[in-house]
Structure formats: structure tokens, C-alpha cells
Structure 1
Amino acid sequence: MPSLGALYQQSMLRHPYGYALYEPESSETLQPGFCGYLTELGQWTPLLGTHQMPVNLGDPSSLSRNGLTPFEHFHRAPSDQRSWGPKLCGRITQKKVDLEAGAGLLPAGIPADIGALYRYSNKDGFGAILMTESPVIKDFVYGTTTFRLWCKANSETLLRKWPDIKDRGLIIVTSVYSTKFAMMNAWSETEKEISVGFRAGVIEIGEAAPSTSWYTARGDSGWVSSQACHPGERKVVFFGGLYFKYRKLATILPQSHAFSAGPVEKARFRDVDPDAKEFETQVEDDDALYDMLVTSEERGEMVELPNEEENDDDDDDF
């Protein structure tokens, strides 16, 4: 059975923000431009280079110190702030409790002067809820193709210095959503119910909601909190980027060329994308040299660079 972290990450893909971190990561190790991968438990692991510092496409010295080519198209977008309601995933439902029926409905730990009380429950399967303190800040960088082309030019070096990505894949981070404080509850029991009280009277479950504070019932188990502690630090709850998957070329055989004699010949018939959505690279392992196919997938919001060219009038027509 998949771990809670894996179930949480997959189920939260219903929200358009990319990967959801079962354990929110510090913004000091997860930022736009950073390179890394996810473990089987869904934990972010940056590529650590010289001086044990994360490889960062936004820092030219980070690339040169690690033998990687410069990245000349790092364009950071203005930060964006928003307020979120609860983020739900899995087989979970929400029900508002009628507080006019009496204060006896309030579980221990939730004050009597709240504006609304909600119960979240499931009857079977996985369920999870994420609460985030406002504001949630989105930081991102523009572009997709430039990141693919950089990865194509540096894949041999990346695979040699960080061989873990051969099996786990490589992620180049392009967006993060962070908060100062987050709480999460995830479970896979047959049936569970938790209560949350809010200062605001109406709580939206969409992608936007009024800024509000919340309280959890003292008897509800499973809540895990994460808080930024260092000056300027935040906790990343979602991040997006480009995911590069490495596979031995000989194991990928297009059906249209199944008549070819050998696996290498079959692989040569593959169409390689000029924008590096799919490309080939070589890997040396145990003194043996073999080819790998690299494919890229977009996860989360990918924002293209704004067109700064002005449309000048053609005076020759007048």
C-alpha cells in the first residue's frame, strides 16, 4: 500500500499548484531555480554541490562551481499573495455545523466565539486537509523551453555527479507556494471525522477564501504543524516545475518500428523534440557506455515569458 506521503501528493494534484509536500519544506532549500528530486516518501531532496549548497539556476556561481553551463534566461516574476481556504483531497466531505443549536456542539479546544464550525469526514479510502496561514505567497520564474534546453546540455554532467536522478528523475523548480505556518491531517482509516472552527462565518473550499484563523478540536488526532523559524524563512506547501525522466533507450521501442533488427536501431528512429521535451544523452556506468532517453513533464503552473516586443506600424503602407 502506498505511504500517506505518496497518497497525499497524488491526491493533492487536483489543485493546480504542482506537487504537494506531505512535510512542508523550508524555503531555504526549495526555491524557483533549484534542482532536486523526490524520494519514495515524497520528501524533497535538493542537488547539493560544492560547499553543500543547493544547485541553483538563478545563481551563476552555483553553476560554475559545479561544472554546469550558465543559465542566461532566469527571469523572476513579481511575488503574488493570496488567502486560501482549506485544501481538501481524497474521499473527504465538508459539513457546516449549525451553532444556533447550542454551545454544547463545540468540541474541547474550540472557543465559543468562533464564526463557524465545520466537520470533515470520510467513510472509506484516503482523506486529507491542509490549512495555511495567510498570506500564501507564490514565487515563480518564467519559461519552460529554456529550462529543457539547459537540462539537455547538462544531463551528462548531472547524471555523473548526482547518479540518484537516474532512477528518481530530476526536477527543476519553477514555482513555490509558501506560508509561515501550516497544519495538515491525512489518514487512510475506514472512517474518521475531525472538527475545525473558523473566525470567519463562511469558509470557501475553492482556490480563494478570506483570510481567517482556525482552531482544531483537542481530541482530534493526526494533526501535524509546520512553522517557519528563521528570519525570512517560509514553509513551502506546493511547488511546480519541470520533471525529467531518465530511461534506458533500448527499453523504449516505438511500435511503428517494431520490425527493426536491434534495440539500438529501433531507438534511432525516435523523433527528438527540438525544444528538448524529449532528447537523448549518454551515461557511463561500470565502464559501460549506454544511451538514455530523457522526457520532460510539466507539473504545476508553467508561465511563459511575457512578450516584450512592440508591434510597430508598417509606414510603407501609407
Structure 2
Amino acid sequence: MSNLGALYQQSMLKHPYGYALYEPESSKVLQPGFCGYLTELGQWTPLLGVDERPINLGDPLSLVQNGLTPFNHFHRAPADKRSWGPKVCGRVTQRKVELEAGVSLMPAGIPADVGALYRYSSKDGFGAILMTQGPVVKDFVYGTTPFRVWCKDNSEVILRRWPDVRDRGLIIATSTYTTQRAMMNAWSDTEKEISVGFHAGVVEIGEIGPSSTWYTSNGDGGWVAAEAGEPDERKVVFFGGLYFKYRRLAVILPQSHAFSSGPVEKARFRSFDSEAREFQMVDRVSDEAQFELSVTSEERGEMVELPKEMTKGQEEEEDDDDF
């Protein structure tokens, strides 16, 4: 991942919304239930099926036609809409500019009739600011254990059809935060100040932002905008999910093979994990090359458990303690 992209993703962890995308993705390729991985540049890449559409655990046809087992625990939560103020990270400070002195303080590009003007600055180190047009919509699905069990049952097929997963791991997205339009400015190792004007008279420092309309100064460089271009599309700025890591343990050798000399260290396995946080499997790279793999999972971002009223008759299967 690029230096700015890595710093942005790590610094945005201060906000409890999951993995921050340095380049917002289209909701057409990243939704709760979609499978994929992240490249070294931090870009989301979905697993594409035979119909060139993303693999989606919420779509039975998407699974069956690609040789994957059905997923019978897809419970989507009601969409949650909210308004966000600016999301800042790194060494950024926010300062409100008093406008009593008149329009002479207003930078070019910001209308004189805005209700509030804020300046965001840093003197050294990394800084970034994310602006999102309201409403920001949170979509998510309940549960964690069923996703782990499904991955365990389907890892052999996944590795065969999408070999990049061996090195990059597999992500099953379980939550997304989307907006119609986003703007981001990030910088590193330089002194910088940018101005943002809002129509609302008050913009709280932190999570509350009563205005979804903002203006930036013509003289402030570095702004990058992402806007949905289709009626049924939005831009994903944060997402969460389960991340599965595939770690090669040892080659499975023919029975006739004998080691010439020296001890052979055997991998130490954990006891069987009924919740499939860790399991072992055989990776059949070819008929001649077969490897034993250890697969572990960890949660990335916000995970939401299945509500108790939805677990009737499934308590043992759905019960899962976050870690």
C-alpha cells in the first residue's frame, strides 16, 4: 500500500467504523456478504464468478453456479442513516474562524453567505480529512460464526478458483458505510492548512455535522473527490468484516520419500476450533505439489451479533464470542 494510503487507513481506526478506504469503492462491488481481498495498494478486489459478478453470500445463485455451498444464515439488518461531520485523523487540529470581520476572511471558492468557516491544519507529520455528503448509510449483516464455518467448508474451492487468495487472504464483508459523494485530503511530513465552509451555523468537533453541504477553497490543493455515477450506486468509505489468512505449513510428501538427514519440525496445531477461527486443510496446488495450510480468521471493523430474538432454536450454532 502507498505510504499515504497506509497512514490514512491506520489513522482512521480512531473512528469506530472499520477499514477506511483511501480510494472509496463502488457499492456495486463492495456490499455486506461480498467476498474479496485487498491489494498492496489497499484497493478492494471482489471475487468474480462465472457471470463476472461478485461472489455474494446473500445471493444463493451466486454461490451455486460457482461451486460453493449455500449460505443459510444471511440476516441483513435495517439500513441506518446518519449525518457526519468532518472525519479527521493524524495530527490535525480544527479551528473555527469568526466571521464578524466580514467577507475579507473568506477564501476564494467559499461563498460569503456560509454559516461557518473552519480551518484544519497540521504542522508536522501525517494529516487527513474526509468529507461525506449526508446521509451516510450503514448496511450490515448479523453474526460471525456462520461466516467462519462457510469459509472452512469452501476454502478448497475458493483457493482453486481464486488463487490470489493464497497470498492476500480472503475478506467477507459484513458492514459498509456509504455516501453519495466523498472528498478526501491527505498529506504527510509537511505544514498544511485547508479551509472548509459550511452552510450550517454550527459544526461540532467530532461526530455531529448538521450540514451535508460544504465548500473548499480554490487555493487548497490535494482534494480528491469520489461521486456515485449511477442511480443505484453509492461510494463505500468504511467497511468491516472477517479476514481469513492462509498460511502454508508444510509440503505433503509421497510416503516413499525419506529425509536424508536432520530433524523435521512439525507444526503445532491448536485443538479443534468449533467456531472455525482456525482450521487446517490441504491446498492442492497441483497433483505433484500439495501443501498443508493453517487458516485463521480475525474481525476487521465493526461486527454485530445476531439479535437474541433471531437465534431461537439456533443458540448453539450462532453463539460466538468476539475476540
Give 1:151-230 correspondences, 5 Å limit.
151-230=151-230
Letter of the 2:165 partner, please give it.
Answer: I
The corresponding residue for 2:244 is 244
Once residues 87 and 270 of structure 2 are traced to their aligned partners in structure 1, the CA distance between those partners, rounded to angstroms, is: 41
Letter of the 2:273 partner, please give it.
Answer: D
Letter of the 2:211 partner, please give it.
Answer: S
- Cα deviation for residue 80 of structure 1 reads 0.5
- Cα deviation for residue 209 of structure 1 reads 2.7
Match of 2:295, SS?
strand
- Cα deviation for residue 221 of structure 1 reads 0.4
- Cα deviation for residue 150 of structure 1 reads 0.3
Once residues 164 and 7 of structure 1 are traced to their aligned partners in structure 2, the CA distance between those partners, rounded to angstroms, is: 25
The corresponding residue for 1:302 is 303
Once residues 14 and 273 of structure 1 are traced to their aligned partners in structure 2, the CA distance between those partners, rounded to angstroms, is: 31
The corresponding residue for 2:260 is none
Q: Which runs of 5+ in 1 are unaligned?
A: 252-260, 311-318
The corresponding residue for 1:258 is none
Letter of the 1:35 partner, please give it.
Answer: C
- Cα deviation for residue 73 of structure 1 reads 0.4
Contact 2:33 2:58 (C-alpha < 8 Å) held by counterparts: yes
- Cα deviation for residue 294 of structure 1 reads 1.1
Comparing 142-151 with 270-279, greater Cα deviation is found at 270-279
Match of 1:238, SS?
strand
Once residues 54 and 150 of structure 1 are traced to their aligned partners in structure 2, the CA distance between those partners, rounded to angstroms, is: 17
Contact 1:82 1:208 (C-alpha < 8 Å) held by counterparts: no
Once residues 124 and 245 of structure 1 are traced to their aligned partners in structure 2, the CA distance between those partners, rounded to angstroms, is: 35
The corresponding residue for 1:293 is 294
Q: Which runs of 5+ in 2 are unaligned?
A: 252-262, 313-323
The corresponding residue for 1:62 is 62
Once residues 119 and 222 of structure 2 are traced to their aligned partners in structure 1, the CA distance between those partners, rounded to angstroms, is: 15
Letter of the 2:71 partner, please give it.
Answer: F
Structure with more of its chain in helix, by fraction? 1
Per-residue CA distance 1:19-63 (angstroms, 9 max, x = gap) = 111111111111110000111111110001101111000011110
The corresponding residue for 2:276 is 276
Contact 2:108 2:219 (C-alpha < 8 Å) held by counterparts: yes
Contact 1:6 1:40 (C-alpha < 8 Å) held by counterparts: no
Per-residue CA distance 1:185-230 (angstroms, 9 max, x = gap) = 1111421111001111221232333233110000100101111111
Once residues 271 and 121 of structure 1 are traced to their aligned partners in structure 2, the CA distance between those partners, rounded to angstroms, is: 51
Once residues 64 and 212 of structure 2 are traced to their aligned partners in structure 1, the CA distance between those partners, rounded to angstroms, is: 45
The corresponding residue for 1:263 is 265
- Tell me: CA distance 1:81–1:283, structure 2 relative to 1, closer, same or farther (3 Å): same
Once residues 205 and 249 of structure 2 are traced to their aligned partners in structure 1, the CA distance between those partners, rounded to angstroms, is: 44
Once residues 87 and 301 of structure 1 are traced to their aligned partners in structure 2, the CA distance between those partners, rounded to angstroms, is: 17
The corresponding residue for 2:89 is 89
Taking structure 1 as the reference length, what is the TM-score of the superposition?
0.90
Per-residue CA distance 1:91-141 (angstroms, 9 max, x = gap) = 111111111133211110011111111111111111110000010011111
- Cα deviation for residue 250 of structure 1 reads 4.9
The corresponding residue for 2:44 is 44
Letter of the 2:264 partner, please give it.
Answer: G
- Cα deviation for residue 296 of structure 1 reads 0.9
Once residues 44 and 92 of structure 1 are traced to their aligned partners in structure 2, the CA distance between those partners, rounded to angstroms, is: 27
- Tell me: CA distance 1:164–1:191, structure 2 relative to 1, closer, same or farther (3 Å): same
Taking structure 2 as the reference length, what is the TM-score of the superposition?
0.89
